[in-house]
Structure 1
Amino acid sequence: MGQPDGGWYDDTPPRITGTSPKDKATNVTARKIHIYFDEYIKLEDASNKVVVSPPQVEMPEIKTAGKEISIELKDSLRPDMTYTIDFSDAISDNNEGNPMGNYTYSFSTGERIDTFEVSGNVIDASNLEPIKGILVGLYANLSDTAFTTTPLLRVARTDSRGHFVIKGVAPGTYRAYALQDADGNYMYSQKSEMVAFNTDSISPSCGPDIRQDTIWRDSLRIDSIIRTGYTHFYPDDIVLRAFSVPLTDRYLIKTERQSPEKIGIYFSYGSDTLPAMRGLNFDAEKAFIVESTEKHDTITYWIKDTALVNKDTLQFALTYMMTDTAGVLVSNTDTISAVPRMSYEKRMKQRQKEFEDWQKEQEKAKKKGEPYDSVMPPAPLVPKISADTSLDPDRNIAIEMPSPLARCDTAAIHLYSKHDTLWYRSRFELRPVPGKLRAYTLLAEWRPGIEYSLEIDSAAFEDIYGLVSNAYKAGIRVRAMDEYSSLTVNLTGTADTAIIVQLLNGADGVVKQTKASGGSAEFFYVNPGTYYLRAFADTNGNGTWDTGDYHAGRQPETVTYYPKKIECKEKWDVTIGWDMSELPGNRQKPMDITKQKPEQERKLRNRNADRARNLGIEYIKPN
């Protein structure tokens, strides 16, 4: 006795039984298309997977009903134009989900139908990540203004690999563009849209070629090799590097007074000058110490006078440069009320509670005969000191203060080094970090294999509110040379003379960075581990990667990845050669650190063959 298992699975994908108008028909005038199948079908993610070319300003209406897909084009048909409707892999049968495979329907409003195709990849210019779902299109108009004034002529979307195929292309000369079309007008009209452009023109062509497919008997043995002729369309190796331009429109994002002693002001973009502040209920002149970022987009006003700190509402007029509706910087004045998150009254209550709790602790200590205080000590100034117990010889100690300093006594800072069993004074220098009001760097000659002791006396630092630091002591061991590896990279295949090479420990984790000199980049004191390499052409010499600008005709600085991982071990001196032009940009980045992984292709599961094998019978697939 047993249960019937339902018989063979339906492993056959849907088949097209007819179309209206006929596929690849010419002189078509109807805007309604019907595609008929031999079984019930479903259409997955049509809004993203189905692409109509030429692009439609008004979205076409695509419906499925039983064994039929109907498409109604809302835009008027252009004369003498080939139309393509690319369904990608969106069509499958309704019950078993068997994919039909990539399918494109096409027709022409003229006497002939265009069949050329161009293909390639779109990658992020900053990190060579494949970009999924970005629009790629062609212009027959080779003018630089076409991209910003007229819709793209023929379009496609990239898949999960960043790959695109533009079909139905007529003979001619074109330029290729990529666009993350935020407003759906198929042209570059917003600064926030990611774009890619190429000044080189392309001319589509085709020719006969042979495709080789390998059928494996198992994981080790080849059963047969099948060679099939097909039409190869060119070009098929377009690589577009997409980028976003910085949003330079300047406006005031917010003002806040998280703590009573400082006011934070945040702008969307920087400016050459600081804003002007005029107090309305207080005298703003000489009332602040101003801390600003390099571009003046984030500004902190530290209030020096404790009487103003205790004032709950500070009203002031802030005059600053902002971008108007025409995109021009103009002067603007806002009236602002800065109110702390906790009022003065609540802060006093909180301090009173803290004092009472402290007083109870002292009373307990007194009753137990333990040491106690009669005066509550003020809260100390607590610097953030990055003195790890283990230090690399090419690193220094960073010190960040919680508030601006009024006094820094370097004589109260001591650095000792241990040689044999004796401690000796070591020379050091405490430098302020340029452009950072509260940041300092302690520099010293950190010798490999030596122990150091950093000792800071109490009251070495005092801030503008009279708070002083406590004593501090930290033991530091500089790691020995034998614990490191070194890496030398010999660069070839590039005409750029200013190359910045970065050592990565993951997708974006920059461990070290150096400027190549004489065609070589060297990394010392490399911790053992697995690393990757990225380089960019520092065209303007500012030491950082810079994006492009379409309106200025400027491409982003070229980024290149070394295609393999690098193993560094203790005591190893690793030397590698890197031909930076060996691979195209879409094939450089190692898959281990590529975040945008290719999606698995939808394939027929062929479950009947597995079922027949389990039953011990032969399965003959129906035609």
Structure 2
Amino acid sequence: MKNINLLILLVISLLAFSCAKQSSPMGGPRDLDPPKVLNMSPKNQSLNTKPEKIILTFDEYIKLDNANKNILITPRINKDEVIITAIKNTLVIELNQILEDSTTYVFNFQKSIQDLSEANPVENLKLVFSTGESIDSLTFSGSVNTYFPGRNTQLEDAIVGLYPLDDTTNVFTAPPYYLTQVDSVGKFFISNIKSGKYIAYAWLDDNNSLKAEYKSEAFDFIKDTITIIQNIDGIQFNLSKGDQNPIRILRSSSVGSNYTIVLNKNPVEISIENENPEFDIFYTLGDKRITLYLEKPITDSLAFKVNLTDSVGFNIDSLIYAKFENSERRSEKLSITPNSGKSFYKNLGVELTFNKPLKNINYDSLYLAYDTASIIAITPKMLSFKDSLRRDILQINLSIPDSIPFELFTVKAADSTFLDIEGQYNETVLSANYKKLKLETLADLISGSIEGAEGPFIVQLLDSKGEMKREAYIKSGNNFSFNLIEAGNYEIRVIEDTNANKRWDPANYEEKRNAERTFYFTDPDTGDKNISIRGGWTLEDLVITSTPKTGLKTVQN
């Protein structure tokens, strides 16, 4: 009997626990509706109001998604003082600052407000109010392009901002007065602007600081002052990246028997002039450093002029006194890095990069091998250096006749083939392979013309990985062509080389110079950049149309 009573008590306890346990209802349609606004304080389009708090009430519980980034407030306020909280179905924004007089404020919530259960965002929600008698209604709109789009470039991470002309800040020092985010197709729209004169910028705000970074973020600007007294449309920005810090020499000193100059960035042009022609100076360029070499140590300092230019056009000209002293420090071993793995047809271009300038080459142990025992001797006439003072990049140009029916060719060099300026021989054997392509596998021709731009032009053929396979410099005219191309998928990029220095130049903010325009071939029917070409094919009459220049295209009343 006692056991029966215990069993009855156990069953009753289990039933009571089961009844008390709460669970979510099963089944039913998924909630796809975003929260709806029930009330705003102040009300949208309110006049003569300076709220200390902004309160929005919704028809369901809400949460916030990165509110500090996603809620855009214009014109500029001190966002460090703003406190944004979501409690149940209410959003509260504590401003903690006094708003400007006679100014229209816009709170663009984008997709920052979501329902609590399914994260459905409220879209196109804005609160507009004025501290004065009227709502400012002028607009500023256009599009944003990027000259060198990366595989992960997201245009919606870009910001477009307006700074009043009399503002002492700029895009690198503080957030703009008016701003908006760019959409996924590169369009932007700023509304409720007060009439006045402004400076306009666009930039990829990778770190969410609402200002551009000198070194790392792509940006663009309109050179001219923009007077907004009516709606403005058709503004075009073309983003490009370039370190805006002027090139500087940080320090220079003797390192072993050599002399090193340490820089804040890498130069694109180097000129070194030795004031004592009795001595030959050679150099190598490393990461933000130039190393000078002299064949033999000397007791006195040697004066030389160094002229450096960086990628955005800044230049320094300095006189340096260097010492090349005897040192017990062990010299670095000589190393070789070949451009092996390249394909070619007829003309083979070999490039060997050394860690130090070369002094001598033993040609008896340097040759091109094919088959099992056949070789082509490499002679001094086939060799050249990129720079007479930079004897660390050796170029070998070989012409392979069609009568040699082999595909694999190997540049070989025995140990002790190369002697550097410090008296070190290469200790490892060089063996670099190159593949000769068959004529029947090559496309015959890609050709076309460039419209809407002025030369000179740099025309580049890029493979599917974005690596440059061919480059042509068009000094005059607007026609281009590439012959005998390996089959594959390509893009064609054109650089408008305005200053004819045979390289692309990014924007220089200090000199108010926009980046050189860069544009791609796109299929007029599909808008696709990709070009597919196969062996024996010919693609002619391609038309590459330039991107719009940075600036204003049209004005609408």
Q: Distance in 2 between matches of 1:474 and 1:76?
A: 70
- Structure 2 equivalent of residue 434 of structure 1: 387
Residues 281 and 294 in structure 2, CA contact (< 8 A), matched pair in contact too: yes
Query: Cα distance, 1:15 vs. partner?
Result: 1.1
Give secondary structure in 2 for the equivalent of 1:52: strand
Query: Cα distance, 1:107 vs. partner?
Result: 0.3
Taking a change above 3 Å as real, the CA distance of residues 416 and 73 of structure 1, as seen in their structure-2 partners, is: closer
The aligned runs of 1:162-561 (5 Å cut-off) are 162-170=186-194, 176-179=200-203, 194-199=218-223, 201=226, 235=233, 237-246=234-243, 247-252=245-250, 265-269=261-265, 270=267, 290-293=282-285, 297-301=288-292, 383-386=336-339, 391-410=344-363, 413=366, 429-434=382-387, 436-448=390-402, 450=404, 451=406, 460-464=417-421, 465=423, 467=425, 478-506=436-464, 508-516=466-474, 518-561=477-520
Cα deviation, 1:519-558, whole Å, max 9, x if unaligned, reads 2211123111111111110111111110112332211100
Taking a change above 3 Å as real, the CA distance of residues 525 and 537 of structure 1, as seen in their structure-2 partners, is: same
Query: Cα distance, 1:149 vs. partner?
Result: 9.8
Residues 1:100 and 2:122 aligned together: yes
Q: Distance in 2 between matches of 1:150 and 1:10?
A: 41
Give secondary structure in 1 for the equivalent of 2:109: strand
Residues 1:574 and 2:539 aligned together: yes
Give secondary structure in 2 for the equivalent of 1:396: strand
Which ranges of structure 2 fall in alignment gaps of 5 or more residues?
1-23, 309-313, 523-527, 551-557
Q: Distance in 1 between matches of 2:503 and 2:294?
A: 34
Q: Distance in 2 between matches of 1:113 and 1:472?
A: 74
Q: Distance in 2 between matches of 1:182 and 1:273?
A: 36
Taking a change above 3 Å as real, the CA distance of residues 401 and 497 of structure 1, as seen in their structure-2 partners, is: closer
Give secondary structure in 2 for the equivalent of 1:437: strand
Cα deviation, 1:479-504, whole Å, max 9, x if unaligned, reads 33222114433224223121111111
Please identify, of 176-185 and 513-522, the stretch whose mean Cα deviation from structure 2 is larger. Answer: 176-185
Normalising by structure 1, what TM-score? 0.65
Q: Distance in 2 between matches of 1:403 and 1:384?
A: 12
Residues 447 and 478 in structure 1, CA contact (< 8 A), matched pair in contact too: no
Amino acid paired to 2:283: E
Q: Distance in 2 between matches of 1:380 and 1:139?
A: 55
Query: Cα distance, 1:79 vs. partner?
Result: 1.7
Q: Distance in 2 between matches of 1:94 and 1:553?
A: 48
The aligned runs of 1:131-146 (5 Å cut-off) are 131-139=155-163, 141=165
1:29 to 42, 50, 54: 50
Q: Distance in 2 between matches of 1:113 and 1:328?
A: 49
Residues 393 and 525 in structure 1, CA contact (< 8 A), matched pair in contact too: no
Q: Distance in 2 between matches of 1:319 and 1:445?
A: 40
Of Structure 1 and Structure 2, the greater strand share is in 2
Residues 290 and 301 in structure 1, CA contact (< 8 A), matched pair in contact too: yes
Q: Distance in 2 between matches of 1:426 and 1:328?
A: 40
Q: Distance in 2 between matches of 1:137 and 1:541?
A: 32
Taking a change above 3 Å as real, the CA distance of residues 18 and 254 of structure 1, as seen in their structure-2 partners, is: farther
Query: Cα distance, 1:46 vs. partner?
Result: 0.8
Give secondary structure in 1 for the equivalent of 2:387: coil
Q: Distance in 2 between matches of 1:121 and 1:106?
A: 24
Q: Distance in 1 between matches of 2:172 and 2:342?
A: 57
- The percentage of aligned residue pairs carrying the same residue is 23
Q: Distance in 2 between matches of 1:272 and 1:434?
A: 10
Residues 39 and 57 in structure 2, CA contact (< 8 A), matched pair in contact too: yes
Please identify, of 476-485 and 528-537, the stretch whose mean Cα deviation from structure 2 is larger. Answer: 476-485
Residues 448 and 478 in structure 1, CA contact (< 8 A), matched pair in contact too: no
Query: Cα distance, 1:56 vs. partner?
Result: 1.1
2:179 to 155, 174, 189: 155
Amino acid paired to 1:107: F
Taking a change above 3 Å as real, the CA distance of residues 584 and 449 of structure 1, as seen in their structure-2 partners, is: farther
Residues 447 and 481 in structure 2, CA contact (< 8 A), matched pair in contact too: yes
Which ranges of structure 1 fall in alignment gaps of 5 or more residues?
207-233, 277-285, 309-315, 348-378, 587-623
Please identify, of 433-442 and 564-573, the stretch whose mean Cα deviation from structure 2 is larger. Answer: 433-442
Give secondary structure in 1 for the equivalent of 2:440: helix
Normalising by structure 2, what TM-score? 0.72
Residues 366 and 377 in structure 2, CA contact (< 8 A), matched pair in contact too: no
Residues 220 and 507 in structure 2, CA contact (< 8 A), matched pair in contact too: no
Q: Distance in 2 between matches of 1:182 and 1:139?
A: 20
Taking a change above 3 Å as real, the CA distance of residues 83 and 387 of structure 1, as seen in their structure-2 partners, is: closer
Please identify, of 537-546 and 402-411, the stretch whose mean Cα deviation from structure 2 is larger. Answer: 402-411
Taking a change above 3 Å as real, the CA distance of residues 189 and 572 of structure 1, as seen in their structure-2 partners, is: closer
RMSD: 5.1
Please identify, of 474-483 and 187-196, the stretch whose mean Cα deviation from structure 2 is larger. Answer: 187-196
Cα deviation, 1:404-461, whole Å, max 9, x if unaligned, reads 433224466556899xx99887975222221532221222333346357866677543
- Structure 2 equivalent of residue 68 of structure 1: 90
